[in-house]
Amino acid sequence: MASPYAGGVQPPSPAGAVQQQQQNHSLAFRVMRLSRPSLQPDLAALLRFDPRDVFLPEDALTGSDPSAAAKFLHGLLHPADSATAVPGDFTFRDRFLLRDPADALALPGLLVLPQSFGAIYLGETFCSYISINNSSSFEARDVVIKAEIQTERQRILLLDTSKSPVESIRSGGRYDFIVEHDVKELGAHTLVCTALYNDGDGERKYLPQFFKFSVSNPLSVRTKVRTIKDITYLEACIENHTKSNLYMDQVDFEPAQQWSATRLEADEHPSTVKSAIGYCDIEPKPTASKDVNLRAVKVPPIIYVERAFMVNLCLTNQTDKTVGPFEVFLAPSMSGEDRAVLVNGPQKLILPLVEAFESIKFDLSMVTTQLGVQKISGITMYAVQEKKYYEPLPDIEIFVDAE
């Protein structure tokens, strides 16, 4: 069901160390990236559909009672009130014959999971299926599992079962879960999976595993600037580096304060480019898997040092159900340094329930302690009922002036 992580590269280590680690640990992580499935027709594989492919539990054929699978199939194929039951011969020779319209559901009609890791681009949602397997002959108990994404700038916790550990993972069993992460940084990323558990001897053991992948930029922007007399002409060209179509919501060009801009030719593709005369903002279409979205709506154009100012934020529920309540707070800096922009007043802001596809706007009072160009960073949201931390709001650059 879960395959080894095709794109993950674990840190190199001596062969003896790897073998020793496998011998010492009962558990092991297996990771598979979840992405869009595909249809893979194969005319040479027109076989009859075996009910065991769908109706039987996955461990029915390898369980302690193999006869249970045979009894289940016999009852399925030979119902007591049916005189026209389908024969129970499912050899490969017999599966070429279609005796029932349902037999037309052959292998080419099934969705196929991705067979390779593929590329990850900025703005995508990385979704991963993680399975922790017990390959030993002993039961692992009180298993605390953590999964997090590490980048050069921050560390994001995706799963933590410290408050409710997995009671046990039997011999030959496994524990599965799915994690998601909205990719907002380029470069190297590391998916860190750790397990703390009691083995068969009652010894408390710690298992870390690392899976690395790289994030690329899906777009690049090339610009040309020409000046004729007192008019400057800017041409921007966006290149798609992915193997699929990209759909953008909008294209915005915001000139600097001393400039005014007139659009000469409409273009359906958004872009991002920074220059001395302004910048274009690329806004990819959000993924459907993101349930809520927190964004900054308005920041004062003039901010003075050590004087409180309000940041207007908007929380949007992108699901068809009510979500919340939420807590909004300023997360501590990962580097341990003091932030130049702090929350003014209560350190946590409580937000009420948000109805389906609705939005609420609220203000967060903040204050700066340093002059010059600063960043508002670390604004984080926490779902109280789901006990889920969302990714921090992207950094907002501000200019702080003296009074």
Strand, coil or helix: what is 279?
A: strand
Q: If we measure between CA atoms, which residue out of 241, 31, 247 comes closest to residue 127?
A: 31
How confident is residue 61, by pLDDT bands cut at 50, 70 and 90?
low
SS (H, E, C) 42-79: CHHHCCCCCHHHCCCCCCCCCCCCCHHHHHHHHHHHCC
- For the ranges 8-12, 15-19, 144-148, 175-179, which has the lowest average pLDDT? 15-19
Residue 28: count of CB within 10 angstroms of its CB: 18
Pair 138, 171: CB distance under 8 Å: yes
Q: What is the pLDDT of residue 245?
A: 80
- The H or E element that residue 196 is part of is strand 187-198
The stretch 31-52 carries a mean pLDDT of 62
- pTM (global) more than 0.95: no
> Measured between alpha carbons, how far is 19 from 40 in angstroms, rounded to an integer?
37
* 181-209 pLDDT tens trace: 888 888 899 999 999 999 888 888 999 99
Partners of residue 340 on adjacent β-strands:
none
The stretch 171-175 carries a mean pLDDT of 89
The DSSP output letter for 108 is G
Measured in degrees and rounded to the nearest 5, phi and psi for residue 103 equal -70, -15
> Measured between alpha carbons, how far is 131 from 230 in angstroms, rounded to an integer?
63
> Measured between alpha carbons, how far is 168 from 139 in angstroms, rounded to an integer?
7
Share of the chain above pLDDT 90, in %: 8
> Measured between alpha carbons, how far is 126 from 8 in angstroms, rounded to an integer?
13
Task: Please state whether beta strands 231-240 and 219-228 pair in parallel, antiparallel, or not at all (unpaired).
Answer: antiparallel
Q: What is the pLDDT of residue 197?
A: 92
How confident is residue 60, by pLDDT bands cut at 50, 70 and 90?
low
- For the ranges 27-41, 279-293, 324-338, which has the lowest average pLDDT? 279-293
Measured in degrees and rounded to the nearest 5, phi and psi for residue 119 equal -100, 145
* 336-353 pLDDT tens trace: 677 888 888 888 888 888
Residue given tokens 């280590």 in the structure block: 13
* 24-33 pLDDT tens trace: 888 999 988 8
Pair 175, 166: CB distance under 8 Å: yes
Q: What is the pLDDT of residue 402?
A: 81
Pair 333, 339: CB distance under 8 Å: yes
How confident is residue 143, by pLDDT bands cut at 50, 70 and 90?
very high
Share of the chain above pLDDT 70, in %: 67
Q: If we measure between CA atoms, which residue out of 200, 204, 145, 156 comes closest to residue 181?
A: 156
> Measured between alpha carbons, how far is 327 from 348 in angstroms, rounded to an integer?
6
> Measured between alpha carbons, how far is 280 from 242 in angstroms, rounded to an integer?
20
Structural domains in the chain, CATH included, are 15-37+114-216 (2.60.40.10), 38-112 (no CATH), 220-284 (no CATH), 292-401 (2.60.40.10)
**Which pairs with CB-CB distance under 8 Å and at least 24 residues apart come from 186-189?**
186/122, 186/215, 186/216, 186/217, 187/151, 187/152, 187/214, 187/215, 188/151, 188/152, 188/212, 188/213, 188/214, 189/120, 189/126, 189/149, 189/150, 189/151, 189/213, 189/214, 189/215
